[in-house]
Each structure stands twice: as structure tokens, then as C-alpha cells.
Amino acid sequence: MQSVSHYQTLGLERGCTQQQIREAYRRLVKQHHPDAKPGSSGANPEIKALNAAHEILSDPGRKRAYDRELDAASREAATGRGPRLSKNISKEVRLGIQDFVRGTAVKVEVNDPANAEGPESYRLELPAETAPGARFRIPRTGAFQGGFVELRVKALPGFRFQVRGSDIRCELRIDSRRALQGGIETMEGPAGGFLRVQIPPRVKRGEIIRVPNQGMPKPRGGRGDLLVRVTYRPEVRVSRTR
């Protein structure tokens, strides 16, 4: 455990509420913000410590796990034993858009030099309609039983489709005739398959057309939207004059 606990970083006691955690974090971030310290430069260690403390304590599950680690560290200090071997590890996983919408399975391999039993191998089933940012905890086995592998899933940056929160952005190139008359354009969807996009007559270059429920899954259900930016090249004719 670190010499200064997350509670001490926020100036709080172990029995603090979630509201007290939020209020202390906001107050201290404002206090240590670079704008409040003219002439400061480079990374701000106070802000980093505050962010780390808030990330752990604002999540009830992670807060309970952290409290257990504090209790264990206190017991070990009282008995004169050394620090306990940490059993929990975390990893950020990048997946494609289709994986979030349709679901997928990933293999998780852990090569921990401290594990005398050798490499660990696990399988994670990612359900369909999983929102980016979701966390999964896989119980560890063997010598590290009681610990977890925590995975946080995020969307891979794509060439054509860009994820922005629960929405997905892309460009659709059409010809000038379609831009003038309007109509239906067919395009490949971000999760596979094809979508029909209604182009209004005399659409402007750069105009955004919103296709509902074709974005990323949301944490509380449903999906965001697909935001299609229309591009085209205006027709230019050149003829000889006399």
C-alpha cells in the first residue's frame, strides 16, 4: 500500500459518504489546479494523486476492495509481517465496434513471475450490447485465489468510424447529383451490414445526418446514434468562349 492512503489524500475518514468524496475531490482539484498556481509547469503530482484517489473511492466495489487491503496492511503491520503480495491486476482492453454490439469472447493470459504455478489462462465472454468503459472482474485461481483480473473495455480507434461517447461519427461521400436531388444512399454500418441514409435535397457539404440507434451501446441500455457527415465535390464545367 502507498504511504499516504487515498482517504488521507482527500482529507477524509474511512466512514465518509460518496457525497463527501465528490465534494472533497472537487474542492481539492480546484485548489491544486495549475490556474490556481501561477508559474507552475509540468505534471501536477497533487492532481494525479487526487484523480487516483477519486477513481478508487468513487466506485463502491473498488472502495470495498481497497478497504480490505487497508485492513490487511494494518494487520500485517501489527504482527510485524511484510507486505502482502497483491493478487489483483488490471488491464485495459481495446475492441472493435462490432465486438461491443454483437458480443465476443477474449482469451486472457497472465504471466506473473510471482506465480510458481506458471501462466494463468482465462476466458471472458463479452455480452452483446456492452457499453465502452465497462469493467469485468475475472477471479484468479491457484496461488492467487481470492484476487481478480480486472478488465476495462474500450473501443479501438478506427479509420472510417470514430467513437465519441455513445455516438459514432463517419463521412459519406456522394455525387453532386445526389446532393442536389436528395434520395437514399446505402453505406456499410459500423457494426456490419448495410444502412440506408436519407439524403435531403440540396444538402450542404459538411452537413451532419443523424441515424438513430446505430451508435455504441449505452451503459443503461439502448444505443447512441450514427452521425454521418456528408461530403461531395461540386460539379464544375469549363467550356471555350469566343
At residue 113, the 3 state secondary structure works out as coil
State the pLDDT at residue 63: 92
Is the pTM of the predicted complex or chain greater than 0.85?
no
Strand-pairing partners, residue 147, are 145
Consecutive 10-residue runs of the chain (242 residues): their mean pLDDT?
A: 78 92 92 67 74 92 90 74 69 93 93 82 93 92 85 90 94 95 94 93 96 94 96 92 80
pLDDT for 206 = 95
Enumerate domains of the chain plus CATH numbers. Answer: 1-84 (1.10.287.110), 86-156 (2.60.260.20), 162-231 (2.60.260.20)
Q: What are phi and psi of 221, to 5 degrees?
A: 105, 155
| Element (DSSP H or E) covering residue 155 | strand 148-155
Number of helices (H) and strands (E) in the chain: give both, helices first: 6, 11
Q: Which helix (H) or strand (E) holds 62?
A: helix 60-79
Report the distance separating Cα 78 and Cα 211, nearest Å: 61
